Chain A
Amino acid sequence: MEAKTASLIEHYSHIDAYDEMFKEDMTLRDTWKKVYHNFETLGHNEIISRQKDIDWNLSENGTTYNIYNDPNGQNRPWNLNIFPFVMHKKEWDDVEKGLQQRVHLLDLVVKDIYGERQLLKKGIIPQEVIFGHRGFLRQCDGIESSTKQHLSVYAADLSRGPDGRMWMVNDRVQAPSGMGYALENRTITSNVLPNLYKDLSVVDQYDFFNTFNQLLIDAAPNKILNPNIVVLTPGPSSESYFEHSYLANYYGYPLVRGNDLLVRDGKLWMKSLKGLKQVNVVYRRVEDMFIDPLELREDSYLGVAGLLDVVRRKNVSILNPVGVGVIENPGLIPFMPAIAKYFLDEELILPQIATWWCGQKKELDHVMANISKLVIKRIDRSSRETIVFGELLDATELEALKQKIKSRPHLYVAQERIKFSTVPNFTDGKLEPRNMICRAFAIADKAAYKIMPGGLVRVSSTSKTFKVNEQRGGTSKDFCVIDENYVKTVKPKYCKITTTGLTKLNDLPSLTAENLYWAGRYASRALVLSRHLRMVLKEVSKTDLSSTFQKHSKIDYLLNTVTELTNVSPGFSTSKNVDSPDAIKKELIAIVVDKNKAGSLASTLSLFSNSFYAIRNLASTDMWRVLDSMQKLWHPITEEDQTKLSYKRLIKILDQLITKLIAFMGLIEESILVEQGLLLYFIGLNLERAMLNTTIFQNMLIGVEEDHVQYEILEALLHSHESLNIYRYSYRSHINIESVLSLIMLNTKYARSLTFLVGRLKKDIGYLPHSKTTSDLQDYEKGIFEAYSKLRLSNTEYLSEISGTDLPIRAHLKTFLDMLQVLFLETSKSISDTYFNHSKGHTQLTSQKFS
C-alpha cells in the first residue's frame, strides 16, 4: 500500500502553488480524500487501463477539437484525463452565486451599451472601452431582443488564486464552446469510474441541458409553439465542430451552415430538400462579425446576408444576440466593481485579477513602470496569440511593446501575473501537478440564470506552461460538484419537451443532402477504384512487362482503363514515357497512394472522409470505429517513400481497405434513416457506380482482340467487377462476351448488373420530394428513366455485334455505352440543380475592404 502511494505521487515532490488535492504538508484535502483513495485502490495498472478506455471511447465517438494550421491535420482527438476535478457543493454554492451575479451584470451592461448608454454618459465606463472595442457593433444599436435577457448563454473561465478563492479570468459570450465537451466528459468518465462517481455523489447536469432546450424553444419570437430551431455552425473546419454536431444531435435540431439559410420576405429560411422552411430560432456558433455579410463583415461566407434585418423585425431570435462580443473585454474588469455598485448596489462576489486599463494616465504610468512583471492583453483579442507575458521579453521587445501600448493605450490592459492552482493530472502512469482553468456555464432560465453544476476543466499541456488553452494542446477533465446530501432524482437523460417540425426528408438541409449524396458517390468511387486497382496490381505483378507490354495486350487494356477511370494525369493512355516497367510501376503506385495526385485512390479516400466528416452528426459509433480503422490502415502508407512500396504490400492493404469500405457502407445503410437523407446517399452511391462501371465497359468491352487476349480481358473485367464466381455459377462455360454482357449489363436480378443498378436508381429518384407531384416526370427523372428503358429494350446479340474490318470494334455497344454515360451525367447535373443549388453564391455589390 505504502509503495503504491509513493509511486503514484512521486512527481508531487514539492508544491509551489496552491494545489487542489494536497495541502502544503502533502496531506489530502477533505474533499479529495475519496477521489484519491479510490484511485489508490484501483492501482497504477488499472488506472492506465481505464485511461485507455477513455481514449478509446473518445476515438469511438469521434470526439475532436480542430486546431487551425495544425501540422498533424484536422480532427485532432480531444484529450480527457481520467483524474477528475472535484469541488464541494459548499464551495460551489458561492461560485454559483458569483457567476449568477456576474452574468446578470453583464446582461445589464449589454442592454445599456446597445440602448441608453447610461454607463458611458455617467462615465462609469470610459467610452474607449466600448467604442474602441471592435466587438461593439453600431449596426446592432437599439435592436431589441425577443428574450427577457439579452445574454442567454454565458461561459466563464475561472481559476483558483493563491488566496484559495476562485477568480474570474475571462467572460465568453459570442459562441462559447465547451458545454457539449463537458457533457461528453461527464458521460465517459462516469462510465469508466462508476464506483467513484457513486461514492462521491456527483451532482448531475441533465437538468441544465433540459433547461437549455426549453430556453431555445421559449426564445422563438411571439412564443410560437413548435418553433423551428437550427444550430448554425461555421463548418467542419471550425475548432469545435464536434460539439456543434454533438449538440445538434443531442437535441435533434438540424445542423446548418450559412449557406443553408436565406433571408426572404423579411424572414429567415432554411433551404431544405423540398424548398424553404422558416426558421424561428438560431443557436449560433458563428462569431458576431461573420453573421451577416450585408451589414457586418462583407467577406464572410459563414453567415446569412440580411440576417440582422430579420432580427430587427423580430422574425427570428439568435442566441446569443449579435453584438454581445463587446463584453468579451478585459477592459471592463477595472470598472466591474463600479458597474455592480451602479446597477445592483452590490460588491462583486467573484474576485477578479488586478487589471490596469492603459487608457488612463495613472494606470498607463503604472503599467509602463512595471511592465516586465505584468501580463498584457488587448481588450478585443484579435487573435489568441495576443497575450504577452512581460517577464518573457528581453529589453528590446519590452521597449517595442511599450511603444505599441503608448500609440493606442485604450486598446490594452495589463494584469497581475497570478500563480494559479495546480490539479493532479494522470500522466505517464503518475499523478503530476498541472495548472488548471475551469470553464463554467450559465443559461437564462426564466428571469434568472441557471448554472451548470461543474463544467469543463482544462489543464496545461506540460507542467511548465503558463497558459492553458485547448488550442495549444492541453488536456481536459470532468469537473464534478460533489454533495453528500445530493439526492439523485431519476430523470430521463433528456426529455424532449416539444418536437421540432424539422425532422422529415423534405426538411433535410440542402447542404446535408448534398454532402450525403457526395458521401455516396465517393464511397462508390473508392470501392470501384480499389477493386479495379487491386486487380490491375495483381495482373501487373505477375506479368513480365518488358516482353509483353504492347498495344492490344491485356495489360494495355487494363492500364488504359485505369487512366479513364481515375482521370489522372499523365496516366497511361497518351504519354509515351510510361511504357517501361519502372515507369509503369511508379505511375501505378502514385495512382494508389499519392493523395496530392488528383483522381488517385488516396485523393478519393480523403474526399470521401471529408464529405463524411461534414455529416458527422448522422454517424453512429460503429461508423466512427470503421472510419478510424480505415484511416489508421491507410494513412501510414501515404506517408511512405513510394519508390520502396511493393505491389504485394499494396495488394494486401487494398484487400483490407475493401473489407473496411464494405463494412462502412453496410453500417451507413443501417445507421441512417431514409428521412435523414439515406436516400440521397443511395442515389449518389448507385449513380457513381453506374457511371464507373460504364467507363470500365467502354474501355474493356468495345475493342475486339484475338480470342486468348479477349478471354484474359473479360476475366480481368469480371475480377474487377467481383463477378467471376457468379459468372462461373451461372454459365459454367468458357468466358465469352455475350454471357458477360448478359450478366453484368442486362441481368435484372443480379445486384451488381448495370440494369439492376439503374432500376434501383430509378426507384430511389422516384422517392425524392419533387417526384410524382404531377403526372409528368421531373427533368431529373427523365435521364434515368430513358437509361433504364434502353437497357431493358436491348439484347446481347445486338450489342456484341462486330463491325469494321481494319480495326474491328463493337460499334453498337460503343454507341449504347456512350449514350448511357451522357444520360447519367445529365441525371447527376439535374439532381444537383434541383436539390442542391437553391441559390447561387453571393457577392458584394461593391468591394470594400474590411478587417
Chain B
Amino acid sequence: MNFQITHTTEYTYTDPVVFCHNIATIKPRTSLGQELLDYTIDINPEPTQISERIDFFGNNITRFTIQKQHKKLSVTSKSKITRNYTEVKERFFSKACTDVTLEQALELLNANNENTFTPKQFILDSILIRNTKSNIKAYALESFKPKRSVFEATNELMQRIFTDFKFVSGFTNVSTPLSVVMEEKKGVCQDFAQIAIACLRSIGLPGRYISGYIETLPPPGKPKLIGADASHAWFAVFIPGFGWVDFDPTNNKIPENQHIVVGWGRDYYDVPPLKGVVYSSGSSSLKVSVDIRSIE
C-alpha cells in the first residue's frame, strides 16, 4: 500500500524569536516492509542552515537553524511511503518466532557477540524509562513465565495494557514520569508503549520504542476528515534467534500497513519529532496536524 503523509508542526511565540536551533526526527526511515518513495520538508521562515544525518539508531535527523527574527515557526514534511507489511507480520506467527520461550531467550541473550550487542542495549535503562519500580516487574510477571513463548507473553502484555489502561489525552505530557502512568493507568500511545518497554526490560528482554503515524479509517460511509490522523507510537520486543516483533498496545494489534514507521530508539527521548533551543524571552504554543491518504 502507498501513503501520502503530510505532517505540520507550528509554533507560535508570544515574543519574537531572534534565532533558533532545531532538530527534527520526521523523515521516515526505510525499514522492514517499508520504503520511502519521496520526501520534502518545508520550513518557514526559511532556515539559514539545514542538514541531514543518520543518528546512532539509524534514524533520519534533520538539523536546522533560523537566524531571521520570527514569531511563528512551521515545519511541514510530506512523505510518500510504500508499505508491504503483510508478509512481515505473517512471519511473526511462524514457529521460529513463537517457539522461543522466555528461558531460552534469556539464555541466548547472555552471550556477548556481534548478534546480541546491539539489541542488548535496549534492556538497559534509558532517559525516560529508568529505575522503574517493582510494580512494573510484578505487572510483567503476570504474563511472562520461563517456559512460556515470549511472543505469546508479549501479545498478552499488549492486550492487558489495552484493557487496564485508559486512553486519556492531556492527562500526561512528555515529562510525566512512568510511575504516574503506572499508578493512574491513564495516558496516550507513547505512555502505553513506554509502560510495555519498561515491563520487557524489567525481566531482561530488549524493548524498543517506535515513533510513527497511524492511518485512521473513517466510520463506514463517512468521508475522512483532514488532520484526523496523528503521530503514533508503539513498541517492539527482541526475540533472540528471530528478531524484532512489534506490538501496538493502544489499538491492541500487531502493526499492519496502516502503521508507518518514522524512527526508533530506547524511548520517546531518542526520537522527538521536533525539538529545539530558541532565543527569546516569551512562551510558545504548539499546533500539530497529520494527514494520511492512501494513494494508488
Q: Assess whether A342 is interfacial by the CB under 8 Å rule.
A: no
Knowing A121-B114, A841-B281, say if A312 contacts B53 (CB, 8 Å).
Answer: yes
- Docked-complex contact B112 and A123, CB < 8 angstroms: yes
Instruction: State in angstroms the CA–CA spacing of A347 and B264 once bound together.
Output: 41
Q: Mark B85-127, 1 if CB is under 8 A from A, else 0.
A: 0000000000000000000000000011110110011001101
Q: Assess whether B279 is interfacial by the CB under 8 Å rule.
A: yes
Within 8 A of B (CB), among A124-154: 126-128, 131-132, 138-139, 141
Knowing A141-B56, A294-B23, A845-B20, say if A131 contacts B121 (CB, 8 Å).
Answer: yes
Would you list 13 pairs from A and B whose C-beta atoms are within 8 A, ordered by A residue? A121-B114, A138-B55, A265-B49, A294-B21, A294-B23, A295-B23, A305-B21, A839-B19, A841-B281, A845-B274, A847-B175, A849-B175, A850-B269
Within 8 A of B (CB), among A826-851: 839-850
B119 to chain A, nearest CB (A): 10
- Docked-complex contact A840 and B121, CB < 8 angstroms: no
Q: Assess whether B272 is interfacial by the CB under 8 Å rule.
A: yes
Knowing A264-B19, A845-B11, A849-B175, say if A121 contacts B117 (CB, 8 Å).
Answer: yes
Q: How many A-B residue pairs have CB under 8 A?
A: 108
Q: Assess whether A263 is interfacial by the CB under 8 Å rule.
A: yes
Which of B113, B116, B276, B286 has most chain A Cβ within 10 Å? B276
B233 to chain A, nearest CB (A): 15
- Docked-complex contact A306 and B174, CB < 8 angstroms: no
Q: Assess whether B22 is interfacial by the CB under 8 Å rule.
A: yes
- Docked-complex contact B21 and A840, CB < 8 angstroms: no
Q: Which residue of B lies closest to A411 (CB)?
A: B125
Cβ contact of B56, chosen from A126, A138, A845, A848, cutoff 8 A: A138
Q: Assess whether B48 is interfacial by the CB under 8 Å rule.
A: yes
Q: Assess whether A309 is interfacial by the CB under 8 Å rule.
A: yes
B281 to chain A, nearest CB (A): 5
Q: Assess whether A11 is interfacial by the CB under 8 Å rule.
A: no
Q: Assess whether A408 is interfacial by the CB under 8 Å rule.
A: yes
- Docked-complex contact B128 and A846, CB < 8 angstroms: no
Q: Assess whether B230 is interfacial by the CB under 8 Å rule.
A: no
Q: Mark A300-338, 1 if CB is under 8 A from B, else 0.
A: 000001100100100000000000000000000000000
Q: Assess whether A266 is interfacial by the CB under 8 Å rule.
A: yes
- Docked-complex contact A848 and B275, CB < 8 angstroms: yes
- Docked-complex contact A840 and B18, CB < 8 angstroms: yes
Q: Assess whether B252 is interfacial by the CB under 8 Å rule.
A: no
Q: Assess whether A293 is interfacial by the CB under 8 Å rule.
A: yes
5 closest residue pairs by CB, A with B = A138-B56, A123-B112, A305-B277, A131-B121, A845-B276
- Docked-complex contact B112 and A127, CB < 8 angstroms: yes
- Docked-complex contact A294 and B277, CB < 8 angstroms: yes
- Docked-complex contact A849 and B279, CB < 8 angstroms: no
Q: Mark A536-562, 1 if CB is under 8 A from B, else 0.
A: 000000000000000000000000000
Q: Assess whether B278 is interfacial by the CB under 8 Å rule.
A: yes
Knowing A408-B125, A839-B18, A840-B281, say if A845 contacts B275 (CB, 8 Å).
Answer: yes
Knowing A264-B67, A309-B63, say if A131 contacts B275 (CB, 8 Å).
Answer: no
Cβ contact of A306, chosen from B18, B127, B269, B277, cutoff 8 A: B277
Q: Which residue of A lies closest to B128 (CB)?
A: A849
Q: Assess whether A410 is interfacial by the CB under 8 Å rule.
A: yes
- Docked-complex contact B272 and A846, CB < 8 angstroms: yes
Knowing A141-B55, A265-B49, A408-B125, say if A846 contacts B275 (CB, 8 Å).
Answer: yes
Q: Assess whether B30 is interfacial by the CB under 8 Å rule.
A: no
Q: Assess whether A120 is interfacial by the CB under 8 Å rule.
A: yes
Chain B neighbourhood of A293, CB < 8 A: 277
Q: Assess whether B284 is interfacial by the CB under 8 Å rule.
A: yes
- Docked-complex contact B281 and A844, CB < 8 angstroms: no
Q: Which residue of B lies closest to A263 (CB)?
A: B21
Chain B neighbourhood of A123, CB < 8 A: 111-113, 117
Within 8 A of A (CB), among B221-269: 269
B129 to chain A, nearest CB (A): 12
A308 to chain B, nearest CB (A): 10
Knowing A121-B117, A840-B280, say if A128 contacts B174 (CB, 8 Å).
Answer: no
Chain A neighbourhood of B63, CB < 8 A: 309
- Docked-complex contact B276 and A839, CB < 8 angstroms: no
Which of A132, A410, A840 has most chain B Cβ within 10 Å? A840
Knowing A120-B117, A265-B49, say if A841 contacts B279 (CB, 8 Å).
Answer: yes
Q: Assess whether B65 is interfacial by the CB under 8 Å rule.
A: yes
